[in-house]
Structure 1
Amino acid sequence: MSLQEDDGSHASIVKDYNLDYVKNASSEGLLDWSYRPLDELILQDKHSDRDENRWTFGVNYNLLKGVRFSFNLQSLKAITNNRNLNSKDGYYVRNLVNRYTQPDGFRAFPYGDILNQGKQNLLSRSGRLQLDVDQQFGSNRVVLLIGTEQREVKSKLDDYTLYGYDDELLTSQMILDYTKVYPLRPQSSGRIPFPSSALRENIDRYLSYYANFGYDWRFRYMISGSIRWDASNLFGVNTNQKGVPLWSTGVAWNMMEESFFKNDLVQMLKWRVTYGKNGNIDRGMTAFPTVSYSVNSTTNLQQALITSPGNQNLRWEKVTTFNLGADFRLLKGKLNGSFDYYRKKSDDLIGIDLIDPTVYYGGTQAKLKRNYAKMETKGFDLTLGLNGIGNKVKWSNEFWISRTSNLVTDYYGNNTVSVSGYIRGMDNRPIKNKSIDEMYSLPWYGLDPQTGNPLVENDGVLNTEYTKYINRLALDKRVDHGSSIPIYSGAFRNNLQWKYLSISINIAFKFGYYFRRNSVEYSLLLTNGKGMHADYLDRWKQPGDELKTNVPSNPFANVAIRDMVYTRSEILVEKGDHIRLRDIRLDYAMSQFLRRRSKISNLSVYCYLNNMGILWRKNRKGLDADFPSASYYLSPRMLSIGSKMNY
Structure 2
Amino acid sequence: MYNTERQWSKGRSHYSVDSYYARNLINLFTEPTANGLIHNLPVGGILSESFSALQSTRFRSQLNYDASFAERHHLAVLGGFEFSDRKAEITANGVYGYDDNVLTVGAVDYTRTYPIYEGLSGNASIPSFGDFSSTVQRFVSLYTNMGYTYRDRYVFTLSARRDASNMFGVKTNQRWNPLWSTGLAWNMKTEPFLREIEWVDQLKLKWTRGVSGNLSGAATQRPVLTYLSRADYTRLPYAIIQSPPNPNLKWENVLMTNYGLEYGFFDNRITGSLDYFRKVASDLLSIDPIDPTSGYSSMTRNVGRIKSQGFEWNSNWHWIRKGNVAFTSSIALSYVKDIVDIYNGVENTAENYVRNGGRVLTPLQDRVLYPVFSYKFMGLDGQTGDPVGVWEGEPSQDYNRIVSDSLRNLDYHGSALPLFYGFFQNNLKLGPVSLYVNIAYKFGHHFTKPTISYPSLINSWGGHKDYEKRWQSSGDEEHTTVPSMDYPANSVRSNFYRYSSANVEKGDHIRLQSARISYDIKKLMNKWTNGSGQIFMSINNGGVLWSRTKSGYDPDYSGLPPSKNFVIGINCQF
TM-score bin (small chain) = 0.7 to 0.9
Shift of 1:127: 2.0
Instruction: Decide whether aligned partners of structure 1 residues 481 and 219 sit closer, same or farther in structure 2, where only a CA change above 3 A counts.
Output: same
Q: Quick one: which of 321, 332, 354 aligns to 2:289?
A: 354
Shift of 1:577: 0.8
Q: Residues of 1 paired with 2:160 and 2:395: CA distance?
A: 62
Residue aligned with 1:423, SS? helix
Q: Quick one: which of 180, 188, 199 aligns to 1:247?
A: 180
Provide TM-score, normalisation by structure 2: 0.77
In structure 2, the residue matched to 1:376 is 307
Q: Quick one: which of 197, 210, 213 aligns to 1:279?
A: 213
- 1:615 partnered with 2:545: yes
Residue aligned with 2:192, SS? coil
Q: Residues of 2 paired with 1:344 and 1:393: CA distance?
A: 44
Give 5+ residue unaligned stretches, structure 2.
16-20, 29-45
Instruction: Decide whether aligned partners of structure 1 residues 566 and 312 sit closer, same or farther in structure 2, where only a CA change above 3 A counts.
Output: farther
**What letter matches 2:248 in structure 1?**
N
Shift of 1:532: 3.1
The aligned runs of 1:180-579 (5 Å cut-off) are 200-261=133-194, 262-294=196-228, 304-361=239-296, 366-387=297-318, 389-391=320-322, 392-413=324-345, 417-425=348-356, 428-446=361-379, 455-459=388-392, 460=394, 462-464=396-398, 466=400, 468-471=401-404, 473-520=405-452, 532-534=462-464, 537-538=467-468, 544=474, 547=477, 548-550=480-482, 553=485, 556=488, 559=491, 564-579=495-510
In structure 1, the residue matched to 2:514 is 583
Shift of 1:370: 2.0
- 1:131 partnered with 2:60: no
Higher mean C-alpha deviation, range 424-433 or range 234-243? 424-433
Q: Residues of 2 paired with 1:150 and 1:538: CA distance?
A: 66
1:132, 1:146 within 8 Å by CA — same for their partners in 2?
Answer: yes
**What letter matches 2:219 in structure 1?**
M
Q: Alpha-carbon deviations, 1:307-341, whole Å to 9, x = none?
A: 42243222211111111111111111111111111
Shift of 1:120: 6.2
**What letter matches 1:241 in structure 2?**
Q
Q: Residues of 1 paired with 2:372 and 2:306: CA distance?
A: 17
Q: Alpha-carbon deviations, 1:356-385, whole Å to 9, x = none?
A: 444355xxxx44322222221111111111
RMSD (Å) for aligned C-alpha atoms: 5.0
Instruction: Decide whether aligned partners of structure 1 residues 267 and 170 sit closer, same or farther in structure 2, where only a CA change above 3 A counts.
Output: farther
Shift of 1:537: 3.6
Q: Alpha-carbon deviations, 1:458-508, whole Å to 9, x = none?
A: 454623351x4444x233211110111111000011111233442311000
Q: Residues of 2 paired with 1:286 and 1:83: CA distance?
A: 33
- 1:140 partnered with 2:73: yes
1:451, 1:553 within 8 Å by CA — same for their partners in 2?
Answer: no
In structure 2, the residue matched to 1:32 is none
Residue aligned with 1:260, SS? helix
Q: Quick one: which of 539, 558, 563 aligns to 1:636?
A: 563
In structure 2, the residue matched to 1:18 is none
Shift of 1:587: 4.8
Shift of 1:519: 3.8
Q: Count matched residues.
A: 538
Shift of 1:563: 5.2
Q: Residues of 2 paired with 1:564 and 1:168: CA distance?
A: 58
Q: Residues of 2 paired with 1:204 and 1:475: CA distance?
A: 41
**What letter matches 2:258 in structure 1?**
N
Q: Residues of 2 paired with 1:406 and 1:157: CA distance?
A: 39
Larger radius of gyration: 2
Q: Residues of 2 paired with 1:555 and 1:282: CA distance?
A: 50
Q: Alpha-carbon deviations, 1:546-565, whole Å to 9, x = none?
A: 73342574665785x55543
The aligned runs of 1:99-178 (5 Å cut-off) are 122-137=54-69, 138-156=71-89
Shift of 1:405: 0.9
Residue aligned with 1:476, SS? helix
Shift of 1:342: 0.7
Q: Alpha-carbon deviations, 1:494-537, whole Å to 9, x = none?
A: 1112334423110000000011223455677888x5x9352574
Q: Alpha-carbon deviations, 1:253-273, whole Å to 9, x = none?
A: 111111221211111111111
**What letter matches 1:369 in structure 2?**
T
Q: Alpha-carbon deviations, 1:415-438, whole Å to 9, x = none?
A: 6x5433543459644333322232
Q: Residues of 2 paired with 1:383 and 1:536: CA distance?
A: 42
In structure 1, the residue matched to 2:35 is none
Shift of 1:345: 1.6
**What letter matches 1:430 in structure 2?**
P
In structure 2, the residue matched to 1:11 is none
Q: Alpha-carbon deviations, 1:113-143, whole Å to 9, x = none?
A: x999987655443221111111111221111
Shift of 1:241: 1.3
Q: Residues of 2 paired with 1:170 and 1:483: CA distance?
A: 60
Residue aligned with 1:282, SS? coil
Shift of 1:390: 4.8
Q: Residues of 2 paired with 1:359 and 1:546: CA distance?
A: 58
**What letter matches 1:517 in structure 2?**
K
Instruction: Decide whether aligned partners of structure 1 residues 461 and 290 sit closer, same or farther in structure 2, where only a CA change above 3 A counts.
Output: same
Q: Residues of 2 paired with 1:544 and 1:349: CA distance?
A: 54
Q: Residues of 2 paired with 1:201 and 1:445: CA distance?
A: 57
Instruction: Decide whether aligned partners of structure 1 residues 178 and 281 sit closer, same or farther in structure 2, where only a CA change above 3 A counts.
Output: farther
1:403, 1:487 within 8 Å by CA — same for their partners in 2?
Answer: yes
The percentage of aligned residue pairs carrying the same residue is: 30
Instruction: Decide whether aligned partners of structure 1 residues 595 and 418 sit closer, same or farther in structure 2, where only a CA change above 3 A counts.
Output: closer
Provide TM-score, normalisation by structure 1: 0.69
1:535, 1:551 within 8 Å by CA — same for their partners in 2?
Answer: no
Q: Residues of 1 paired with 2:417 and 2:143: CA distance?
A: 35
Instruction: Decide whether aligned partners of structure 1 residues 335 and 367 sit closer, same or farther in structure 2, where only a CA change above 3 A counts.
Output: same
Shift of 1:398: 1.0
Q: Alpha-carbon deviations, 1:194-245, whole Å to 9, x = none?
A: 9999765433322211100000112111100100111222222212112210
Residue aligned with 2:294, SS? coil
In structure 2, the residue matched to 1:68 is none
**What letter matches 2:512 in structure 1?**
L
